[in-house]
Amino acid sequence: MLNVAILAAGKGSRMESSLPKVLHKISGKSLLQRVIDSCVELKPDQIFIITGHKSKEVQKSIPNDKNINVVIQEPQSGTGHAIQVLCREVKKHEGKLLVLNGDVPLIRPSTLKKLLCLHDSKNADVSLITTKKTNPHGYGRVFLKENFIERIVEEKDCNDLERENRLINSGIYCFNWGNLSEIINTLKSNNNQKEIYLTDTVPLLKNALSLEVKDHRELQGINNRIQLSECEENIQNSIKEKHMLNGVTFINKASCSISEEVEIGKDVIIEANTHIRGNTKINNHCIIGPNTFIENSNVGLHCEISNSTVYASQIMDHIKIGPYSHIRPNSKISSFSKIGNFVEIKNSQLEEESKVNHLSYIGDSIIGKSTNIGAGTITANFDGQKKHQTKIGKNSSIGANTVFVAPINLGESVTTGAGSVITKDSKDNSLAISRTKQVNIENWKRKKS
């Protein structure tokens, strides 16, 4: 039997934040969610999340799952106290209890599996993950005697000699829950922080083992914003390395960010200051950026998108977007189209080979194949209460500065005169023009006053 406890009740004072520490995010996902995700693969019987500080806020973020339970620790008197509260709340203490710190978010499921294996194979009372850090500042130091852990001393309780020990406690433990519950209530808070430390269980248990891992990056704890940003950098580096090994070029890697879920094809070039987020797929042979933001979108083959923003849209193949285009949600830009400077497209479908090259707003519209939208064209889609649709048939040629007062429906091969305000539908092959005729008054001079 395997149960998991995630310690998430602390205030996180060193974050200097009104948001509980475990709700801070790295690469779009909260620390707590990452810790939950890390242990789901182990298929635990139950997960207990210990909350306390701003408990309601933390609880709201927890996924609804019958195996996930919330335990409230009030007041928060330390990590050992958190487990005392858990042992009081839950009556049966069978099998293993895996304890995870809610502020150690990069732990890999494979490392947790190794810990459980070691624990089982040696029939341990407690096993914990340790690592040697060049700079162990802030962590509990782990002292071994022969092959067993003798004790853990917190940074604030270390003397000068103890502080030199580089072997640190990751805050990830596997306990024999029965044995733990027998000693958990004997813990005292006679230390410099006046807290009940979970680490003080170690000398009280007989068989305490250390699983020392080489890569200390996955054990990075987050106590302040510097460590938060170090973790973000760690994640970003590994995401970008994965893409580079799969055939993606980054022109200026440090200035770009890519979410974990993003898929990128081969021979894609990511230019500087490009950010790709959410459920996005970029297919082969695209050039994305510089200065581009793409979220929850699909970008086809051979597209070029520069200095632009794309949200929740479908960009098909061989499309050029930008500079300075804004593609808003629910748009579909079909293959061989071009969206140019200062163009905003929202909830619209553009058929193949259509062009909107300059200074336009196209909202709630369907634009037919090979239609050219002249500079400055605007769809006036909002009457103050409702949004309306504009439909323009294929092979049409829309004059510069046309305003479509929606709802409006134009047939195929329609031309509009530049500067027209179009308020009536028009049939295939027609010219729609609505502007006053030019009058030239010759020999006219402004009168002097």
Task: Tally the C-alpha atoms within 13 A of residue 121's C-alpha that lie toward its C-beta.
Answer: 8
User: Cβ closer to ligand UD1: 4 or 378?
Assistant: 4
* Residue whose entry in the numeric block shows the structure tokens 């973020």: 61
Q: How far is the CB of 200 from ligand UD1 (least distance, A)?
A: 8
| Long-range residue pairs from 355-363, CB within 8 A, at least 24 positions apart, any chain | 362/390, 363/387, 363/390
Interacting residue with ligand UD1 among 86, 152, 213, 406 (CB under 6 A): 152
What is the DSSP secondary structure assignment for residue 359, as one 8-state letter?
Answer: S
What does 78 interact with, of Mg ion, ligand UD1, none (CB < 5 to 8 A by kind)?
Answer: ligand UD1
Closest CA to 274 of 260, 299, 291, 286: 291
> For residue 334, what is the DSSP state?
-
Task: Please report, for residues 149, 154, 190, 221, 268, the alpha-carbon distance to residue 193 in angstroms, rounded to integers and kept in the order given.
Answer: 22, 9, 8, 19, 52
> What's the CA gap between 402 and 337, in Å, rounded?
20
The answer to whether the CB of 390 falls within 8 A of the CB of 432 is no
Q: Strand 298-299's sheet: what is its strand order?
A: 263-264, 281-282, 298-299, 314-315, 332-333, 349-350, 365-367, 390-392, 408-410
Which one, 164 or 383, has the nearer CB to ligand UD1? Answer: 164
Q: Which two tokens stand for residue 438?
A: 């030019």
Question: How many residues bind Mg ion, per CB under 5 A?
Answer: 3
Q: Is 136 in the site for ligand UD1 (CB under 6 A)?
A: no
Nearer to ligand UD1 by Cβ, of 10 and 322: the residue is 10
Judged by CB under 6 A, the residue of 199, 210, 308, 381 near ligand UD1 is 199
Nearest CA-CA partner of 72 in 101, 105, 37, 48: 48
Q: Does 76 bind ligand UD1 (CB under 6 A)?
A: yes
CA distance 84 to 189: 13
List binders of ligand UD1 among 93-122 (CB under 6 A).
101-104
> Closest separation between CB of residue 66 and ligand UD1, Å?
23
Q: Is 8 in the site for ligand UD1 (CB under 6 A)?
A: yes
Q: Which is nearer to ligand UD1, 77 or 349 (CB)?
A: 77
Query: Distance from CA of residue 350 to its chain's centroid?
Result: 30
User: Which residues contact residue 285 at a Cβ distance below 8 angstroms, ignoring those fewer than 6 apart?
Assistant: 265, 266, 267, 268, 301, 302
Judged by CB under 6 A, the stretch of 2-10, 258-266, 326-334, 413-421 that binds ligand UD1 is 2-10
Residues 6+ apart with CB under 8 A from 383: none
Contact string 22-51 vs ligand UD1 (x = CB under 6 A): x---------------------------x-
Q: Please, are residues 72 and 48 in contact by the beta-carbon 8 Å criterion? A: no
Distance CA 207, CA 218 (A): 25
140 near ligand UD1, judged by CB under 6 A: yes
Question: Is 216 assigned a catalytic role?
Answer: no
Q: Which residue is nearest to ligand UD1 (CB)?
A: 140
Catalytic residue among 302, 318, 358, 388, which? 358
Quick one: which of 44, 105, 171, 289 contacts ligand UD1 (CB under 6 A)? Answer: 171
User: Which listed range, 5-13, 290-298, 315-323, 441-449, lies at the site for ligand UD1 (CB under 6 A)?
Assistant: 5-13
Residue list 218-277, contact with ligand UD1 (CB under 6 A): 221, 223
The two beta strands, 292-295 and 355-358, are unpaired
**Among 163-171, 203-211, 364-372, 389-397, the segment contacting ligand UD1 (CB under 6 A):** 163-171
Stretch that binds ligand UD1, among 62-70, 72-80, 236-244, 413-421 (CB under 6 A): 72-80
Q: Which of 95, 83, 22 is nearest to 48 (CA)?
A: 83
CA atoms within 13 A on the CB side of 256: 28
Scanning residues 196 to 225, which ones bind Mg ion (CB under 5 A)? 221, 223
Tell whether residue 73 is a contact of ligand UD1 (CB under 6 A): yes
Query: What's the closest the beta carbon of residue 138 comes to Mg ion, in angstroms?
Result: 8
- Residue 353 interacts with, from Mg ion, ligand UD1, none (CB under 5-8 Å by kind): none
**Residue 7 sits in the site that holds ligand UD1 (CB under 6 A):** yes
Find the part of the chain contacting ligand UD1 (CB under 6 A) among 71-79, 125-133, 206-214, 357-365.
Answer: 71-79
The structure tokens listed for 114 are 């190794």
**Helix (H) and strand (E) counts for the chain?**
7, 41
The verdict on 174 binding ligand UD1 (CB under 6 A) reads: no
Sign of the Cα pseudo-torsion (311, 316, 317, 318, in order): negative
Per-position x/- string for 103-132, each x denoting binding to Mg ion as judged by CB under 5 A, each - no binding = x-----------------------------
Total residues at interface with ligand UD1 (CB under 6 A): 31
* Catalytic site positions: 358
Give the interface with Mg ion as residue ranges (CB under 5 A).
103, 221, 223
Give the interface with ligand UD1 as residue ranges (CB under 6 A).
7-10, 22, 50, 52, 73, 76-79, 81-82, 101-104, 139-140, 152, 154, 168-171, 197-199, 221, 223
